[in-house]
Amino acid sequence: MSICQKNIKIYKGQIAYTPTPEGFMTVEDGFIVVEASKVKDVYCTLPNKYKNIHVEDYGNNLIIPGFIDLHSHASQVANRGIGLDKELLDWLLAHTFKEETKFEDMNYAEAAYKEHINLLIKNGTTRASLLGTIHRESAELLMDIAARAGLGGFVGKVNMDRESPDYYIENTYHSISETEKFIRNTLGKYKMMGPIITPRFVPATTPQLMWALREIVRKFDLPVQSHLSEDIKELEYVKRLHPEFIDYASIYNYFGMFGQRPTIMAHCVYVSDEEIALMARSGVYVAHCPAANFNLSGSVAPIRKFLLAGVNVGLGTDIGAGHVISIKDVIWQAIQASRVYELRTNHKYKALTTAEAFYLATKGGGSFFGKVGSFEPGYDFDALVIDDSNIFTVNPRNILERLERFIYIGDHRNIVQKFIAGEHVI
């Protein structure tokens, strides 16, 4: 056995993944060979050269890529399932901002952020782009907790210096200096986690702050995350604040935060065809958060339009506007939302297939983090082992039926093993 084979691990089971949105790749009793944290390949029959290496045999269990959460407010974990019969702007004032002020208290932050990260991992999320609050120190703590748990992804310290309640707003200069400090304290510190610039959304950030963030993005070569067109009232609000811009996306674009560096925009419900074209050209990622959209406004993002235009799309829980913490539940809410959209457009824009929604939940969002979300050669081995034997089965079910069933009616108890970048995570 050569030295390099020491880095090789082999996992056996009922394998399913989506190299493309068009359909699943499945292998019954297949083998995934992992070398130094990356997938070497997937095999129906194990090649002879691996015969002497131990095979971790998961038997009849499914092996699927880990879930990717492109948008989750870690600071809203205590608000899950609260106040969801309100609309967005009312809900922000009644619940969100008040909750976020508490993260000045590091003990509060530690309790809440540990819970959030624990829930993500428990529910099979392997990478996430997280939002903290305006507080730098607790955002640093969130990154530390996430990194220690083995989660991959980004954490943003939120910036907001206008149009916010007195009790939850930053001075522009303080916002800028704290953001720089946040970057210096976290950039390069962890293998799998890093900082992401996070202006809350256009209404809450002055042009002055946006210019400064643009400089920080360039200087440190950082990714960006924010919100775009979640709600009609928000859209009107943005138009009132910035009549000088042709649309909402152009504002982010003007300030160098729309694909100049890797960018995630949550929601994107009310975007024009011109905005969609810009998103496609700029490589902006949509974090599609169907549960949040249903909850706070009954709206549906035009995901089929995005896919047809070549826009990158992943899924997000958007805790706490979204209440479901598991991306598998976001998958079926995304399919439901896409059916609503199909019906609304008189069947012009077809609903998502299960394969397409699963792709968004894995490789679609995963590509924001590198080669993540698939079992193709060279991909980071992010994987979940699914034991669905507690689900009532009186008929033979193939891998895809079992996977679909897990997505719709399973829960975190079915996820019996988790791997992130080759590491076994508990």
Give me the residues that bind a second copy (CB under 8 A), please.
77-78, 80-85, 99, 108, 111-112, 115, 294-300, 323-325, 332, 335-336, 338-344, 351-354, 392-395, 397, 401, 404-411
- Least separation in angstroms between CB 159 and a second copy: 25
Contact present, 130 and 107 (Cβ < 8 Å): no
Q: Compute the distance between CA of residue 264 and CA of residue 400 in angstroms, rounded to an integer.
A: 30
- Least separation in angstroms between CB 141 and a second copy: 15
The number of beta carbons lying within 10 Å of the beta carbon of residue 354 is: 19
Sheet holding 193-195: strands in order across? 67-73, 125-131, 152-156, 193-195
- Least separation in angstroms between CB 305 and a second copy: 15
What is the chain's length?
Answer: 426
Pick 225 or 297: Cβ nearer a second copy: 297
- List Cβ neighbours of 377 (8 Å cut-off, separation of 6 or more): 39, 40, 41
The token duo for 204 is 């809450």
- Least separation in angstroms between CB 396 and a second copy: 11
- Least separation in angstroms between CB 30 and a second copy: 22
Pick 144 or 342: Cβ nearer a second copy: 342
- Least separation in angstroms between CB 285 and a second copy: 24
- Least separation in angstroms between CB 356 and a second copy: 9
Among residues 112, 115, 85, which one has the least CA distance to residue 100?
A: 112
Q: Is 311 helix (H, G, I), strand (E, B) or coil?
A: coil
Pick 50 or 349: Cβ nearer a second copy: 349
Contact present, 33 and 10 (Cβ < 8 Å): yes
Pick 40 or 402: Cβ nearer a second copy: 402
Distances (CA, A) of 383 to 8, 34, 374, 380, 423: 16, 11, 9, 9, 10
- Least separation in angstroms between CB 246 and a second copy: 25
Pick 205 or 414: Cβ nearer a second copy: 414
Q: Compute the distance between CA of residue 371 and CA of residue 366 in angstroms, rounded to an integer.
A: 7
Q: Compute the distance between CA of residue 399 and CA of residue 369 in angstroms, rounded to an integer.
A: 27
The token duo for 99 is 């909750």
Among residues 71, 17, 62, which one has the least CA distance to residue 39?
A: 17
Pick 305 or 339: Cβ nearer a second copy: 339
Pick 394 or 426: Cβ nearer a second copy: 394
The token duo for 352 is 């998502």
Pick 234 or 382: Cβ nearer a second copy: 234
